[in-house]
């Protein structure tokens, strides 16, 4: 009988020995495909003076000898050969679905998937949503952007693959959204963790009821950080009467969604077994860091069965802290982790590694005196002796309190992170947003 605690127990509960066996089986075949068909990878190997010999690098322990691939490589490849780049390793006719992935800087990258790539994507995505508690009896409304973004249509298909009933909504028109949720008896929402805050007022105005009476019982969140903060979780749970789950972590250039929390443990579980080989590196020295409890490093991923745009030793820029290995109480064996920051955002201040997320956690208890939005402005590369931070004042801050509020933020950062910051309070909404509505946390003016 099927194990209903997991979507794909065969992969999600692999023993370390079996996972190693799967990786050793799949990696040489993957490298054979990559070395034969990806001009970008062949050129990188030849620039490094290496032979494209799959039998040599097919041992996972020798992968570290290969050069890294970065987002910059993907952009350059697609400029050379638009639209899919010279790392497209299949004929263009074999491509079935295309998304566009962003960076906060630079041009977009087109991500192409074949029929088999889609099957792998939807399997891993369903593992993640299932791990977060989604089941076939749920009715889920999906509120991420469908316009070319992977989180829209492909996560929709991931949700469907669990057997749940899925309503495709997208973003915007929140008045209609709350009416549909009530009329159709929807009990689950899939969105960014900040979206419920937007909906709160709409529910009260449009339906004249409290958010918790709308009927939502499960929240599947992803697409932006925030859920590591217990205050954020508790606030959403208290307002909406729903269970908050971190359900959707992915790296669009590689795999849409391959990590989620379970019902026992709030940390993300790696669920890309069989599709991705995950390693950690020290982001400056670039040496491998063993994946064990307490380790911190940048995640580097290698595809194990990708057809269209296979990547090897891809630097994700995400810095992870490994919070557990071995089996979780839920039975899944993938390592557990938190994303502590982006390698491009890591700042060295008097010998301390600082991520913007640390400052976000200091601001959280000060809401609504601050909006929670802030930006670190630097005019030279690391290291720093102190940081300048622009912090947006919130609706509850009286102008005459501004100086005192700034000092409280400075003291809070000193206390929590051990570094000195100089805070400049600015009006709400005045820090520039990117085209996806986010604030760039570190602004480099040099
Ligand atoms: Zn678990």
| SS (HEC) of 237-255 | HHHHCCEEEEEEEEECCCE
Tell me what pLDDT residue 1 has: 53
Distance, CA 138 to ligand 1 centroid (Å)?
Answer: 21
pLDDT of residue 297: 94
The DSSP bridge pattern shows strands 276-281 and 255-260 to be: unpaired
- pLDDT-based confidence at 225, cuts 50/70/90? confident
How far is the centre of ligand 1, averaged over its atoms, from the C-alpha of 305 (Å)? Answer: 25
For residue 266, what pLDDT is reported?
93
Q: What's the pLDDT at 104?
A: 52
pLDDT at 433: 87
pLDDT digits (tens, 9 = 90+) for 319-369: 999 999 999 999 999 999 999 888 888 888 987 878 898 899 899 889 889
State mean pLDDT over 23-34: 97
d(CA 389, CA 407): 12
Q: Which of 85-89, 103-107, 227-231, 241-245 has the lowest mean pLDDT?
A: 103-107
283 vs 424, which has greater pLDDT?
424
Q: Which residue has the higher pLDDT, 9 or 4?
A: 9
Report the C-alpha gap between 406 and 408 in whole angstroms: 5
| Plot region of 111 (φ>0 → left; ψ -120 to 50 → alpha; else → beta) | beta
Whether the predicted pLDDT of 182 surpasses 90: yes
**pLDDT-based confidence at residue 230 (cuts at 50, 70, 90):** confident
Q: From ligand 1's centre to the CA of 240, what distance in Å? A: 24
Report the separation in Å between the CA atom of 332 and the middle of ligand 1, taken as the mean of its atom positions: 6
How far, in Å, from the CA of 216 to the mean position of ligand 1?
23
Q: Which residues of 424-439 are buried (b: 16+ CB within 10 A; e: fewer)?
A: ebbeeeebeeeeeeeb
Q: Mean pLDDT lowest for which of 74-88, 160-174, 341-355, 370-384?
A: 341-355
CA of 9 to the centre of ligand 1 (A): 12
Enclosing H/E stretch for 302? strand 296-303
DSSP 211: G
CA of 129 to the centre of ligand 1 (A): 13
pLDDT top residue among 58 and 110? 110
CA of 258 to the centre of ligand 1 (A): 14
- The distance from CA 356 to its chain's CA centroid, rounded to whole angstroms, is 16
Task: Provide the mean pLDDT of the chain.
Answer: 93
Q: Where are the domains of the chain?
A: 1-342, 347-444
Mean pLDDT of 386-406: 87
72-81, 284-293, 324-333, 397-406, range with the lowest pLDDT: 397-406
- Give residue 105's pLDDT: 58
Distance from the CA of 342 to the center of ligand 1, in angstroms? 25
- Ligand 1 centroid to residue 325 C-alpha, Å: 10
Tens of pLDDT, residues 102-128: 755 568 999 999 999 999 999 999 999
% pLDDT > 70, the chain: 98
Ligand 1: centre distance to CA 350 (Å): 37
Coarse DSSP helix, strand, coil percentages of the chain, rounded to the nearest 5 percent: 35, 25, 40
**C-alpha gyration radius of the chain:** 22
Mean pLDDT confidence for 3-17: 93
Q: What is the mean pLDDT of residues 377-396?
A: 90
- How far is CA 144 from its chain centroid? 14
Residue 438 pLDDT: 80
How far apart (Å, rounded) are the C-alpha atoms in residues 243 and 363? 24
**DSSP secondary structure letters along 358-416:** HHHHHHGGGTTTEEEEEEEEESSPSPBSSEEEEEEE-TT--GGGHHHHHHHHHHHHHHH
Report the C-alpha gap between 363 and 423 in whole angstroms: 12
Please report the sign of the dihedral spanned by the C-alpha atoms of residue 341, residue 342, residue 343, residue 346. Answer: negative
Contact 296, 283 (CB under 8 A): no
CATH architecture of structural domain 347-444: 2-Layer Sandwich (3.30)
Asked whether the domain spanning 347-444 has the same topology as the one spanning 1-342, the reply is: no
Cα gap 387→135, rounded to integer Å: 46
- CATH number, domain 1-342: 3.40.50.12780
């Amino acid at each position: 009988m099927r194990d209903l605690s997991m979507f794909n127990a065969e992969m999600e509960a692999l023993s370390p020995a079996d996972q190693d066996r799967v990786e050793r089986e799949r990696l040489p075949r993957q490298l054979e495909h990559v070395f034969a068909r990806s001009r970008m990878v062949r050129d990188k190997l030849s620039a490094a003076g290496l032979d494209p010999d799959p039998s040599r690098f097919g041992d996972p322990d020798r992968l570290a000898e290969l050069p890294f691939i970065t987002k910059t490589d993907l952009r350059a490849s697609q400029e050379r050969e638009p639209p899919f780049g010279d790392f497209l390793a299949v004929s263009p006719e074999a491509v079935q679905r295309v998304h566009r992935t962003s960076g906060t800087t630079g041009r977009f990258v087109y991500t192409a998937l074949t029929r088999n790539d889609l099957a792998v994507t939807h399997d891993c995505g369903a593992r993640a949503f299932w791990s977060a508690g989604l089941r076939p009896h749920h009715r889920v409304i999906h509120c991420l952007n469908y316009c070319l973004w992977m989180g829209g249509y492909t996560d929709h298909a991931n949700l469907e693959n669990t057997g749940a009933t899925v309503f495709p909504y997208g973003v915007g028109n929140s008045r209609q959204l709350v009416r549909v949720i009530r009329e159709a008896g929807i009990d689950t929402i899939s969105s960014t963790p900040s979206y419920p805050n937007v909906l709160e007022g709409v529910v009260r105005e449009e339906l004249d009821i409290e958010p918790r009476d709308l009927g939502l019982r499960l929240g599947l969140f992803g697409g932006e950080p925030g859920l590591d903060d217990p205050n954020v979780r508790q606030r959403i749970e208290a307002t909406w009467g729903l269970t908050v789950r971190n359900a959707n972590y992915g790296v669009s250039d590689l795999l849409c969604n391959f990590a989620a929390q379970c019902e026992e443990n709030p940390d993300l579980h790696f669920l890309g077994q069989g599709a991705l080989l995950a390693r950690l590196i020290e982001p400056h020295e670039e040496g491998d860091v063993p994946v064990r409890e307490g380790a911190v490093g940048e995640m580097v991923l290698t595809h194990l069965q990708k057809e269209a745009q296979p990547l090897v030793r891809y630097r994700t820029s995400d810095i992870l802290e490994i919070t557990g290995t071995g089996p979780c109480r839920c039975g899944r064996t993938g390592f557990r982790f938190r994303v502590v920051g982006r390698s491009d955002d890591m700042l060295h201040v008097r010998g301390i590694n600082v991520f913007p997320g640390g400052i976000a956690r200091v601001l959280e208890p000060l809401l609504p005196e601050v909006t929670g939005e802030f930006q670190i402005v630097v005019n030279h590369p690391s290291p720093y002796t102190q940081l300048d931070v622009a912090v947006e004042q919130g609706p509850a801050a009286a102008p005459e309190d501004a100086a005192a509020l700034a000092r409280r933020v400075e003291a809070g950062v000193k206390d929590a992170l051990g570094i000195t910051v100089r805070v400049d309070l600015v009006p709400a909404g005045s820090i520039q947003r990117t085209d996806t509505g986010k604030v760039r946390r570190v602004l480099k003016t040099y």
